[in-house]
Amino acid sequence: MYVSTKWLENYVDTKGIAPADLAEKITRAGIEVDTIIDRSEGLTNIVVGHVESCEKHPEADKLNICQVNVGEETVQIICGAPNVAAGQNIIAALPGAKLPGGMKIKKAKLRGEVSNGMICSLQELGVEGKTVAKAYAEGIYVLPADAKPGTDALSLLGLDDVILEFDLTPNRADALSMLGVAYEVGAILSQDVKLPTIEYTASNEKAEDVLTLKVEAKEDNPMYIAKVVKNVKVAESPLWLQNYLMAAGVRPHNNVVDITNFVLLEYGQPLHAFDYDRLETKEIVVRRAVEGEKMTTLDDVERTLHADQLVITNGKEPVALAGVMGGANSEVHDGTTTVVIESAYFASASVRKTSKDVGLRSDASTRFEKGVDPNRVAEAAERAAQLMAELAGGEVLAGAVQFDELDKESVRIILSPDYVNQRLGMKIPMDEMVSILERLQIPVEAANGQLIVDAPTRRQDLRIKEDLIEEIARLYGYDEIPMTLPIGESVPGGLNSFQEKRRLVRRYMESAGLYQAITYSLTSRAESQSFALETAPVTELLMPMSEDRSVLRQSLLPHLLDATTYNVARRIDTVSLYETGSVFLGTQEDGLPKEVGHVAAVITGKWVDHAWQQENKKVDFFVMKGIVEGLMDTLGLTGKVTYAKATHDGLHPGRTADILLNGVVVGVLGQLHPSEQKKRDLKETYVTEMNLALLLAESAEALVYEQVPRYPSMSRDIALVVSKDEAAGSLMDIIQEAGGKLLKDVTVFDLYEGDKVDEGMKSLAFSLTYFDAERTLTDEEVVTRHDKVLAALKEKSGAVLRG
Amino acid sequence: MEQQLEQLKQEALQKIEAAASVKELNDVRVAYLGKKGPITDLLKGMGKLPAEERPKMGALVNVVRETVTTTLEEKMELLELQAVNEKLEKETIDITLPGRPVKLGNHHPLTRVVEEIEDFFISMGYEVAEGPEVEQDYYNFEALNLPKGHPARDMQDSFYITEDVLLRTHTSPVQARTMAAKKGESIKIICPGKVYRRDSDDATHSHQFTQIEGLVVGEDIRMSDLKGTLALFAKKMFGEEREIRLRPSFFPFTEPSVEMDISCFKCGGSGCNVCKKTGWIEILGAGMVHPNVLEMAGYDPTVFTGFAFGMGPERIAMLKYGVEDIRHFFTNDMRFISQFNRTEV
């Protein structure tokens, strides 16, 4: 909404307040002023000129030599506009003039002829092209015949104006009109609002004598008024009216159309003007459209209508799409003499739907959608009739043709000052509350310690006590609200154990060298189940914006791998990312998918990279396994977790493991399948994904201090030759079992596969640590135990000691 | 003999003086003080002396021996020190070479902002509440005073799964769910999470983004409590000197509704490019819980009141760190994420 402060001045006194200050006050009171547009900014030395003569330039086809009376003198100005002509009053920018954008006018010679200035179009004065009347859109602007040469053209054009652009919240539809803004500004400045006086002499003839009305769709159209104005002379509107429209961003057409637009802006009530004679039937019928019915709207587009759309008809065919746009067949034109003014109340839902279906949003439809003031429907029609009499020489027929079943009652709200103060945490006196509501022109009565308020219908956002609390508070000033904290029992805040452990997981992953990524939950159908630990029916959007974002993910890995590829493509060779987030599985009883928290990670490139000391190490399976093991340790789950060789789609068949918690698979870790690596333009890449919900639901092993050793431990190293297929893990299990309580620890310290062992064999070396917390072990004890271990190894795996 | 002794002493002291290394000095020690050295010889030869001269000579020999020993030890200390110093000299490294990097990742900037907000409210006694990202239309809209047919519920603006299920457009349904679950109890929660809107991704829009909302419900919760809470929050998050101001606004689920501005943390309020020359930066929306919302969740609005607020971590991160394009948060460029690896204090 563009609010011309010059126009606003007609309804409320804002003298002495700078527009910027006014804007600040309005913003602080609740309507955000987005921008302040000073229309005269940068404009100087621009006057009315009268073109005495206009002749073709001898040296240039497109230029004219004009002798222009600019008041005190007549000067020669060269003008290239196609529509310049002798006898016109025009806008002359004289030497020294400044135009928007910094252009300066100087005396100049054009093809040998002196030019003492420039004849201007409105666009050259900074007026937006789409608001300039079509007649002048492509050339200079022609001023009315009574303009006086030499006088200031800016004030004549209403450009000595500042416009405030409002960014309205949906509840403040009342401010979609100059009067509504006047009420708001009046309340802020404690000023009265001056409403327009509507006076005209009606003809003896009655509207109902020439027009009948039938409303068949009462719910969508509870009120319809038609007034008839005869003997109208369609012409250009007076300049002041055109200026106001342009200031509001509306293009002037002719006096009849301009008046309907002016009243729309003034009252917030959309009007429509029909050419009475073109209606042909002397009848208006409001009904739902017949499915498939066709009509051509004002913009010359033929539209096929649907049965839920409301139309105005002449009893035979549609003449307007109710509240959205008029029809071409009944449009007011230069030869129109009798006009039907329509002022109606169309239900917001109906207009919203129609306007959306046909893809047309207009100043009218916007206002109907938000709800117009039931008590101003009739008044707006009268205001338009008055202006047509005054400005178009029309003869207004007495009365109106109308249908009216509209509820126009105001809403009564009773509240106590205590209620207001209690909710605000303030102590505003009752008198002050009354005074604020009165400033807002909201009828209020104070009785028995209660405020009895009748919320006016122009303020449809005022329905309940809280709405009035807001009115009182915002005008009293939010700055006046004290700062307190909630009283009452204070409870400790905090994270639940899942949230706390999820933070722990994130911190661990970061301390392990991984950066946290956040990727999109929506993915393509093709990728939605890739790498999923568990698949279930996918959750798909009804109306996706693209195939790439149409289905919710069931694994975090595809997008994490995309991010990895993105980085590698930018020559970041080492990438280490992890993400915690939800995957979406199937549909539960409540219609929602099961959302399961996951954690996933991707690594590629060098894990150790300290070049000048020649320390470099590529990522491998065991780097990722180490990260997972560290995570399990951090979560206190090491003793409950095992790893099992596994195969998964998209992963290397020989380098993939399932991660099991208490024997149940909770995740996977492995190398990306080489074909998958190739497809994604990645080198050796390792991934893991785990069901975080399952991991975090498991309680950590009890953390009980274990005595720091007081007695020495003894180590024995063994190197075993075993078949290549033999898993180190099973050998360690055998050692653990046979070693019993005395075996404190077993670690792998060498793996050898080469010439020095037989084909198909490998050598694995373990270091075993024996220890007793209570005493120093004797050699014999350790030897006995160690021999048992060796025997068990030989028996269970055929392992022999490497010679 | 005395002369001989004196000569021996001078000789020994000269050789000690001349010794340039620990080894040379050790040779001197062996040569003069060793079992086969001249001093030992002298002592051995004492038996040939007359008995009355022996004590005198013995004392003399001992003095010489002690002098030589002490001097030698002193010299030895000196040479050892020199040797150590030479060794250390050889071990000198170029300390300007870079150290071995410690492999560390870090939080995504959005997590950083979210956790900072969470931690402030946790310290104020709030719990963190979370809910599903795929939500029922009822919790996302209806329970929040956005009945069917409300313009804000346009199918075009949200990702619907079915007519009654959609990707949540805000984290407010978590508030509705919490209220429905806690019927009648006081509530103090903060709700962070991912939300989705049917927007095309560009520099200022993202179809997926983050929200964090707060809700307090209790008996006699006042608007001044909201203002006091937000003022503390602004100071904690944006600096002790921050002031706040509330401006009236509109949200369907609160009444009155406000928007909170903070005094610009870059220019302090004098006007700059961050605050667009206004001195103020819009940070969040808030308000008193609408009575309809309370009532729908089973709270008696004549007894219970509450306040709610909500903000966008993306916007806060963009303002705080000067990020110009919201898409950076979801591209996961290592060169972007890895910048958020240090404290700001």
Write the burial class of residue B10 (CB in 10 Å: 0-12 exposed, 13-18 middle, 19+ buried).
Answer: exposed
Contact criterion met (CB below 8 Å) for A237 and A258:
yes
Whether residues B157 and B209 fall in one domain:
yes
Angle made by CA atoms A222, A224, A225, in degrees to the nearest 5: 150
Residues of chain A in contact with residue B218, where contact means CB-CB under 8 angstroms, are 486, 488
Segment A26-71, tens digit of pLDDT:
999 999 999 999 999 889 899 999 999 999 998 888 899 999 999 9
Question: Which pLDDT does position B3 carry in this prediction?
Answer: 81
Question: Which pLDDT does position A669 carry in this prediction?
Answer: 98
Is residue B96 situated within a structural domain? Answer: no
Question: How many other C-beta atoms lie within 10 A of the C-beta of residue A716?
Answer: 16
Residues of chain B in contact with residue A520, where contact means CB-CB under 8 angstroms, are 207-208, 330
| Chain centroid, CA A346 distance in Å | 28
Q: In this model, does residue B44 exceed pLDDT 90?
A: no
State the CATH number of the domain containing residue A793.
3.30.70.380
Provide the 3-class DSSP secondary structure of residue B44: helix
Residues of chain B in contact with residue A166, where contact means CB-CB under 8 angstroms, are none
Residues of chain B in contact with residue A422, where contact means CB-CB under 8 angstroms, are 220, 222
State the CATH number of the domain containing residue A24.
3.30.56.10
Which A residues 514-543 touch B at CB under 8 Å?
514-522, 539-543
Whether residues B325 and B247 fall in one domain:
yes
Contact criterion met (CB below 8 Å) for A159 and A122:
no
Dihedral sign, Cα of residue A147, residue A152, residue A154, residue A155? negative
Q: Which of B118, B156, B208 lies at the smallest CB-CB distance from A520?
A: B208
Residues of chain A in contact with residue B291, where contact means CB-CB under 8 angstroms, are 464, 466
What is the DSSP code string of A128-184? -GGGS-GGGTTS--EE-TTPPTTSBHHHHTT-S-EEEEEE--TT-GGGSSHHHHHHH
Question: Which pLDDT does position A541 carry in this prediction?
Answer: 97
Whether residues A602 and A510 fall in one domain:
yes
Whether residues A319 and A420 fall in one domain:
no
Is residue A781 situated within a structural domain? Answer: yes
Domain containing A720: what range? 714-801
Q: In this model, does residue A537 exceed pLDDT 90?
A: yes
Report d(CA B23, CA B25) in Å as an integer.
5
Is residue A194 situated within a structural domain? Answer: no
Whether residues A277 and A320 fall in one domain:
yes
Residues of chain B in contact with residue A494, where contact means CB-CB under 8 angstroms, are 122, 127-128
Inter-chain residue contact A521 with B208, CB threshold 8 Å: yes
Whether residues A239 and A329 fall in one domain:
yes
Contact criterion met (CB below 8 Å) for A1 and A168:
yes
What is the DSSP code string of B267-326? TTTS--TTTTTSSEEEEEEEEEEPHHHHHHTT--TTTEEEEEEEE-HHHHHHHHHT---T
Residues of chain B in contact with residue A517, where contact means CB-CB under 8 angstroms, are 108, 332, 337
Whether residues A15 and A78 fall in one domain:
no
Q: How confident is the model at residue B50 (pLDDT cuts 50, 70, 90)?
A: confident
Quote the minimal CA–CA distance from B87 to chain A in Å. 22
DSSP β-ladder status, A395-396 and A212-215: unpaired
Q: Between A and B, how many residue pairs show a Cβ–Cβ distance under 8 A?
A: 237
Over residues B82-95, mean pLDDT: 93
Q: In this model, does residue B344 exceed pLDDT 90?
A: no
- Name the CA dihedral angle for B76, B82, B86, B89, rounded to a multiple of 10 degrees: 140
Domain boundary among B65, B91, B117: B91
Is residue A367 situated within a structural domain? Answer: yes
Whether residues A690 and A743 fall in one domain:
no
Angle made by CA atoms A547, A552, A554, in degrees to the nearest 5: 120
State the CATH number of the domain containing residue A561.
3.30.930.10
Q: In this model, does residue B45 exceed pLDDT 80?
A: no
Q: Is B211 on the interface with A (CB under 8 A)?
A: no
Q: Is B248 on the interface with A (CB under 8 A)?
A: yes
Cβ neighbors of B37 (< 8 A, separation 6 or more) are: B30, B31
Inter-chain residue contact B224 with A426, CB threshold 8 Å: yes
Please identify which residue in the block is written with the tokens 């230069």: A334
Residue in B213, B187, B193, B211 with CA at minimum distance from that of residue B126: B187
Question: Which pLDDT does position A798 carry in this prediction?
Answer: 86
Helices A178-189 and A255-267: angle between axes, nearest 10 degrees: 40
Whether residues A468 and A561 fall in one domain:
no
Is residue B343 situated within a structural domain? Answer: no
Question: Which pLDDT does position A633 carry in this prediction?
Answer: 97
First to last CA, chain B: 83
Whether residues A624 and A750 fall in one domain:
no
Residues of chain B in contact with residue A509, where contact means CB-CB under 8 angstroms, are 105
Whether residues B40 and B177 fall in one domain:
no
Whether residues B257 and B129 fall in one domain:
yes
Question: Which pLDDT does position B275 carry in this prediction?
Answer: 87
Dihedral sign, Cα of residue B55, residue B58, residue B59, residue B60? positive
Report d(CA A732, CA A710) in Å as an integer.
26
Q: Is A482 on the interface with B (CB under 8 A)?
A: yes
State the CATH number of the domain containing residue B144.
3.30.930.10
In DSSP terms, A604 is beta-bridged to A575, A685
Domain containing B228: what range? 109-337
Segment A574-618, tens digit of pLDDT:
999 999 999 999 999 999 999 999 999 999 999 999 989 999 999
Q: What percent of chain A has pLDDT over 90?
A: 91
Helices in chain B by DSSP H: which ranges?
2-18, 22-33, 38-44, 54-91, 109-123, 137-140, 172-181, 223-238, 291-296, 313-321, 328-331, 334-337
Residue in B332, B334, B330, B336 with CA at minimum distance from that of residue B199: B330
Angle made by CA atoms A64, A66, A68, in degrees to the nearest 5: 155
Domain boundary among B25, B57, B91: B91
Question: Which pLDDT does position B37 carry in this prediction?
Answer: 81
Contact criterion met (CB below 8 Å) for A69 and A149:
yes
Q: Which of A469, A544, A591 lies at the smallest CB-CB distance from B165?
A: A591
Report d(CA A785, CA A549) in Å as an integer.
62
Report d(CA A347, CA A369) in Å as an integer.
7
The predicted complex's ipTM stands at: 0.89
First to last CA, chain A: 93
Question: Which pLDDT does position A294 carry in this prediction?
Answer: 94
Is residue A491 situated within a structural domain? Answer: no
Inter-chain residue contact A552 with B134, CB threshold 8 Å: yes
Report d(CA A35, CA A41) in Å as an integer.
14
Whether residues A543 and A679 fall in one domain:
yes
Whether residues B240 and B295 fall in one domain:
yes
Inter-chain residue contact A576 with B105, CB threshold 8 Å: yes
Q: Which of B110, B218, B228 lies at the smallest CB-CB distance from A484?
A: B228
Q: Which of B103, B134, B207 lies at the smallest CB-CB distance from A513?
A: B103
Q: Is A496 on the interface with B (CB under 8 A)?
A: yes
Whether residues B293 and B174 fall in one domain:
yes
Question: Which pLDDT does position B36 carry in this prediction?
Answer: 81
Over residues A758-763, mean pLDDT: 91
The count of structural domains within chain A is 6
Whether residues B171 and B308 fall in one domain:
yes
Which run of H or E residues covers position A627? helix A621-634
Counting every residue, how long is chain B?
Answer: 345
Whether residues A718 and A671 fall in one domain:
no
Inter-chain residue contact A510 with B107, CB threshold 8 Å: yes
Contact criterion met (CB below 8 Å) for A538 and A552:
yes
Inter-chain residue contact B207 with A572, CB threshold 8 Å: no
Inter-chain residue contact B258 with A478, CB threshold 8 Å: yes
Residue of A nearest to B278 (CA): A24
Segment A397-454, tens digit of pLDDT:
999 999 999 999 999 999 999 999 999 999 999 999 999 999 999 999 999 999 999 9
Inter-chain residue contact A474 with B248, CB threshold 8 Å: yes
Inter-chain residue contact B250 with A474, CB threshold 8 Å: no
Which A residues 599-628 touch B at CB under 8 Å?
607-610, 612-613, 615
Contact criterion met (CB below 8 Å) for A722 and A764:
yes
Residue of B nearest to A518 (CA): B330
Segment A297-328, tens digit of pLDDT:
999 999 999 999 999 999 999 999 999 999 99
Chain B interface, best mutation among A415, A461, A483, by max B CB count within 10 A: A483
Over residues A473-486, mean pLDDT: 96
Lowest mean pLDDT among A95-104, B161-170, B192-201: A95-104
Q: Is A28 on the interface with B (CB under 8 A)?
A: yes
Inter-chain residue contact B221 with A486, CB threshold 8 Å: yes
Q: How confident is the model at residue A678 (pLDDT cuts 50, 70, 90)?
A: very high
Is residue A489 situated within a structural domain? Answer: no
Q: In this model, does residue B201 exceed pLDDT 90?
A: yes
Residue of A nearest to B126 (CA): A493
Over residues A760-764, mean pLDDT: 93
Domain boundary among B57, B91, B125: B91
Whether residues B87 and B115 fall in one domain:
no
Q: Is B97 on the interface with A (CB under 8 A)?
A: yes
Segment A333-347, tens digit of pLDDT:
999 999 999 999 999
Q: Is B194 on the interface with A (CB under 8 A)?
A: yes
Whether residues A646 and A718 fall in one domain:
no
Contact criterion met (CB below 8 Å) for A290 and A242:
no
Residues of chain A in contact with residue B342, where contact means CB-CB under 8 angstroms, are none
State the CATH number of the domain containing residue A268.
3.50.40.10
Q: How confident is the model at residue A490 (pLDDT cuts 50, 70, 90)?
A: confident
Whether residues B150 and B255 fall in one domain:
yes
Whether residues B232 and B138 fall in one domain:
yes
Over residues B316-345, mean pLDDT: 95
Whether residues A468 and A587 fall in one domain:
no
Whether residues B55 and B167 fall in one domain:
no
Q: Is A188 on the interface with B (CB under 8 A)?
A: no
Question: Which pLDDT does position A452 carry in this prediction?
Answer: 97
Domain boundary among A352, A381, A404: A404
Residues of chain A in contact with residue B104, where contact means CB-CB under 8 angstroms, are 510-511, 513
Question: Which pLDDT does position A750 carry in this prediction?
Answer: 95
Question: Which pLDDT does position B9 carry in this prediction?
Answer: 87
Which A residues 344-403 touch B at CB under 8 Å?
349, 352, 369
Over residues B256-284, mean pLDDT: 90
Q: Is B35 on the interface with A (CB under 8 A)?
A: no
Whether residues B123 and B84 fall in one domain:
no
Inter-chain residue contact B250 with A545, CB threshold 8 Å: no
Q: Which of B167, B288, B334 lies at the smallest CB-CB distance from A423?
A: B288
Question: How many other C-beta atoms lie within 10 A of the C-beta of residue A480?
Answer: 10
The count of structural domains within chain B is 2
Inter-chain residue contact A592 with B135, CB threshold 8 Å: yes
